[in-house]
Every structure is written in C-alpha cells, then in structure tokens.
Structure 1
Amino acid sequence: MKASKAKASKGSGGRDLKTRVKTAKGRKLSSKLWLERQLNDPYVARAKREGYRSRAVYKLAEIDDKAKFLKPGARIVDLGAAPGGWSQLASQRVLSADGKGREQGKVVAIDILEMDPVPGVDFLVLDFLDPSAPDILKEKLGGPADVVLSDMAANATGHRKTDHLKIVALVEAAAMFAAEVLKPGGTFLAKVLQGGTEGDLLAMLKRNFASVKHVKPAASRQDSAELYVLATGFRGEPQA
C-alpha cells in the first residue's frame, strides 16, 4: 500500500501555504482532513516547540489566565489525563515540581490508560467511576481537592444525538465525582459539547456551585462544537 504524503506548497513570493495530504489508497477522507488540520494547526506546532504533550494545554492555559484557579499550593485532580498536557501545565502553575522551598501544590492524574511520567504529577491507572476512586484520590492528595479538571471526551459514534447524550453522561459523572472530592470554594472544569450542559446537568451544577458558565478558548477549533463548563465556588455538601 502506498504511504500518504504531506506536501507543503509555496506561493509566488515563497510564502508557505497550507500543507496538503494526498489521499492514500484505503485512507478515509475524514482521516485525510484530520491529518491536514494537525499539520497546519499552529497550536500543534507550538506544543511541540514548547515541550507539551498536546495542543489542549493552551485551552487550559487561556481559561486559567482569566479565572486563575491553578494557584501555587493548590491540590489538583486531572481526570482522564492521558497523554498528560493538562497535568503538565497544572504542575507548573501550582508548583508541584518546584523544589525551591516555595509553597508546593499537588497534582494527581488518573486514567484507565497508561501515561508517561510527568514531573510533579502522581499518576494512577484508575477508573474515576470506581466507587473507591474519591477516597483514593483524597488520600493521594492529602486532603480534598481545590480543582477537578476533565478534558475527557466520549468516543464519538458520528450520530449527533447519541454523541450528545454520551458527553452529557460523562460530564455528569465527572461532576458527581468532583462533588465528592472538592473542598468548599473549589473549581470544576470539564469539556462539553454545545448544548452539553442543559437540563438536569446544568441544574445540578448550579445547585453545587456558586457560578457556572461556558467558555470557548481560542485554542478550541472554531469549527468544533467543543465548549468548556467552568463551575466555581463549590458549596460543600453535594446536592444531587
């Protein structure tokens, strides 16, 4: 089978234009378009230059630059952490790998997949849906969390309504987990789809947090339905 080729063309003035991927035999058009987006994505290139594991790190960075919840000394849980980009940034901002005598935070990342080590991050192969997960996390953190992060996404089926229901269920489960491990005043940030925090889920978040809003950082592709829900000011005892 002939391998696909990526070709970067230049304009008449020598300016680099978009990289085009030739469709290899057997390659789906969707795969070709995804590869082209990756090759032409400035955030992908930036992540490689700056040593981050994924472009998603810039979404978290932009949200935190405004909301400022990744504070030095904070305790952070990163759900579905692999490949580890969010854990990398969280570790840097809460100084969990600082080692210079300043107030050091704690980052615990969990996933059902293995993940290469990240400096300043404790990693557990663990399903957050396991009933024992909240207690395991709090013990590992040395107390309740200040922030629960979730950049998880349910496996897409291609059927819009089905995918919507799957992401709602995943975020609802993550929010219930957050309510078990957060301390009062804590923050929950999770990826959703447009319309993904409607109805019962949104009502639950508003009962448990003082402020709930949607944000779409610049690093999220504009043609994507991806949004993030940012819930701050956890009220304490979870309200179902």
Structure 2
Amino acid sequence: MRRTGPGGRQRVKTAKGRTNASVRWLERQLNDPYVRMAKSEGYRSRAAYKLIELDERFGFLRGAQRVVDLGIAPGGWTQVVRKKCPKAKVAGIDLLPVDPIEDVTIFQMDFMDDAAPGLLAEALGGPADLVLSDMAANTVGHQQTDHLRTMALVEAGGLFATEVLRPGGTYVAKVLAGGADHGLVAELKRNFTSVKHAKPPASRKESSEWYVIAQGFKGHAEG
C-alpha cells in the first residue's frame, strides 16, 4: 500500500509483517529517479547508469570488441555494453542465475573457481579490451572483514585482467569507501598507465562504494 506525500513523494504505509527498514527501502525505490529510468529504458537495474556515467567520464567502452563482466547479475552493465558496443563479444560470470542476454556467454559459477578464468578467456576468443567487475563479497556486518573480502575479489579481478587484457586495455572495479588500498593501487599503477577513483552520480550518497578505473594496460613484460 502506498500513498503520495508532500511534493509528490511516494510514501509506503507500514503493513502488517513489514519492518520499518523494508518500508524505507520501498520508499527509496519508489522515489529513485534511476530506478524509474531503468524501468522506462529497459535496463535490469539502476546500476546500469553507474557504468554509463563512468564511461561518459573515462571513455573505456569506445571501440571495445571483447569485454568481460565479473559479477554480471542481474545484467544491467552488460546491457549497457551491448547497447554501446553491439558487435562486441561479451562473457560474464556470477554465482547468481542470470536471465539470458543475446550474444552474451554467461557462466553461473564462482569467479574464484580455478576453472573460471580459462572459461571466460576461451569464450572471448582473444585478448579483452575491457574487464568490468561489480563484484562484492556477501557482507557479514563487520566493516573491516567485509572490506577485506571485497578487496580480495578486486585483487583477483585485477590479476585476471592482466592475464586477458590487450595492451591499452582497461580494468574497472567496484571498491569500498576509501577506494583501493595502497598495495592494490601500487600493483595497478605497475600494470596500467592511469589509475583513478570515481563515485558516479548514480551511486547513492549513503553507499560506501567507489570505483577504481585502471586504463592503459602496459602489456606483459618480455622474458
């Protein structure tokens, strides 16, 4: 049950069995312009606009022919890739089931599985132009533990990126408040010519998420 409050804001009545937290979540969804845009433009999630905004600033989708989407569910980021790069080969992976997306290879498995990197690389059929990671570890409610677990995924994604990217390629990954830690930034700077942090407007202000954008992959050292 919902009603319109002052200024046209949608309000949700507290229903039997509905917690205050769920009421707040529903109200936020109802009043979120990105949620409304996603519905009207056919994107599976508001997260699509985070990628659109990051690309507007950094231009990493331009000319991309092979793209990997780590943590693809529910598929909003890959929908953006397919729209902006319709001829690109795209491979994605997630623990969660993902509804099919035309011309996209999707693996339902753990990216940390030893077999995952090889399967993704094989699906691309050549060096990647772009590796995207919207992965985050399941939270346990302990801030330091949650941060460490998510950063382990970011590091694993970064290592994978250095194995599959072509020279000049880009790695974009979700990190938490404060951005990537010093060790990871140093490693990225060793492998990429530009490493920057950004928080796109579509990322809610109260959210702890930021993104690291590593561009200009230097390639593999000879010998």
In the alignment, what sits opposite 2:31? 40
Q: Is the 8 A contact 1:72 1:93 kept in 2?
A: no
Give the number of the structure whose alpha-carbon radius of gyration is greater.
1
> Residue 159 in 1 paired to residue 149 in 2?
no
Q: What is the Cα-based RMSD across aligned positions, in Å?
A: 1.7
Partner AA of 1:91 in structure 2: R
Post-superposition Cα deviations, 1:118-149, rounded to whole Å, max 9, x if no partner, equal: 12322222322122222222211111111000
How many angstroms apart in 2 are the aligned matches of 1:110 and 1:205?
22
Post-superposition Cα deviations, 1:140-165, rounded to whole Å, max 9, x if no partner, equal: 11111110001122222222222222
Q: After the TM superposition, which of the residue ranges 39-48 and 167-176 deviates more from structure 2?
A: 167-176
Q: State the number of aligned residues.
A: 221
Q: Is the 8 A contact 1:187 1:232 kept in 2?
A: yes
Map 1:97-108 onto structure 2 (within 5 A). 104-108=87-91
Could you tell me which runs of 5 or more consecutive residues in structure 2 were left unpaired when the two chains were aligned: none
Q: Is the 8 A contact 1:69 1:147 kept in 2?
A: yes
User: How far 1:220 sits from its partner (Å)?
Assistant: 0.7
In the alignment, what sits opposite 1:187? 170
In the alignment, what sits opposite 2:85? 94
Partner AA of 1:162 in structure 2: T
Partner AA of 1:227 in structure 2: W
The DSSP-based 3-state class of the residue aligned with 2:178 is: coil
Partner AA of 2:128 in structure 1: A
> Residue 78 in 1 paired to residue 61 in 2?
no
Map 1:11-50 onto structure 2 (within 5 A). 11=6, 15-16=7-8, 18-50=9-41
How many angstroms apart in 2 are the aligned matches of 1:188 and 1:237?
15
User: How far 1:196 sits from its partner (Å)?
Assistant: 3.6
Between the aligned residues of both structures, percent identity stands at 57
Q: Is the 8 A contact 1:79 1:109 kept in 2?
A: yes
User: How far 1:179 sits from its partner (Å)?
Assistant: 1.6
Partner AA of 1:200 in structure 2: G
Map 1:121-160 onto structure 2 (within 5 A). 121-160=104-143
Could you tell me which runs of 5 or more consecutive residues in structure 1 were left unpaired when the two chains were aligned: 96-103
Q: TM-score, normalised by structure 1?
A: 0.86
Runs of at least 4 residues off by over 6 Å:
none
How many angstroms apart in 1 are the aligned matches of 2:78 and 2:188?
24
Q: Is the 8 A contact 1:107 1:141 kept in 2?
A: yes
Q: TM-score, normalised by structure 2?
A: 0.92
